[in-house]
Amino acid sequence: MADRLDDLDYYTLLGLEPNATADAIRDAFHRFALKYHPDNHAGGDPTRLARATQIFRRGAEAYRVLCSPDSRRRYDEALGRGERRLTAEPEAAARKPAPAQSINRKAHPFYKKAEQLLAAGDLPNAKLQLKIALGHDPQSGLLQGKLAQVEEQLAARKR
């Protein structure tokens, strides 16, 4: 039996129109994350946690692709060919290690504050909170990846 998740394109998964703005994408992902983030399902049924994690990862993938103008353009082209996921990443992205999906207890409050600031659109202070979190957990791929995303968004604002 095929997984229904595989039938959804990134726009449908996040509840977006194909002409959505960067702000609409961010807002949609925030709503999506409130529902599917694994932390919201911790301590419950392990099957539901696993499914929420799977859905959240796909949504995070969608967010990363749709937030980058180049990736979004390539995705739209792939979608026109019937491909629902962007599988071929540029060489530089392919060399990036996959982020670990956990952070330690000391870094967690700073990560949560950064998430709140991101939801409010305060990128500079979110970046600061992520740097503090990395000071407590310098090996966290999750924190490194999130900081890279925030720095990319800040750079895009300056262009």
End-to-end Cα separation, the chain, in angstroms: 46
| pTM for the model | 0.55
Give me the pLDDT at residue 2, please.
59
Contact 63, 22 (CB under 8 A): no
What ranges do the domains of the chain cover?
1-96, 99-159
Architecture of domain 1-96: Orthogonal Bundle (1.10)
pLDDT in tens, 7-59: 899 999 999 999 999 999 999 999 999 998 988 888 888 888 889 899 999 99
Whats the size of the chain, residue-wise?
Answer: 159
Concatenating the DSSP letter of every residue in the chain gives ---GGGG--HHHHHT--TT--HHHHHHHHHHHHHHH-GGGGTTS-HHHHHHHHHHHHHHHHHHHHHHSHHHHHHHHHHHHTT-SS-----HHHHHSPPPPS---TTTHHHHHHHHHHHHTT-HHHHHHHHHHHHHH-TT-HHHHHHHHHHHHHHHHHH-
pLDDT band at 101; cut points 50, 70, 90: low
Asked if residue 72 has pLDDT above 50, the reply is yes
Give me the pLDDT at residue 44, please.
82
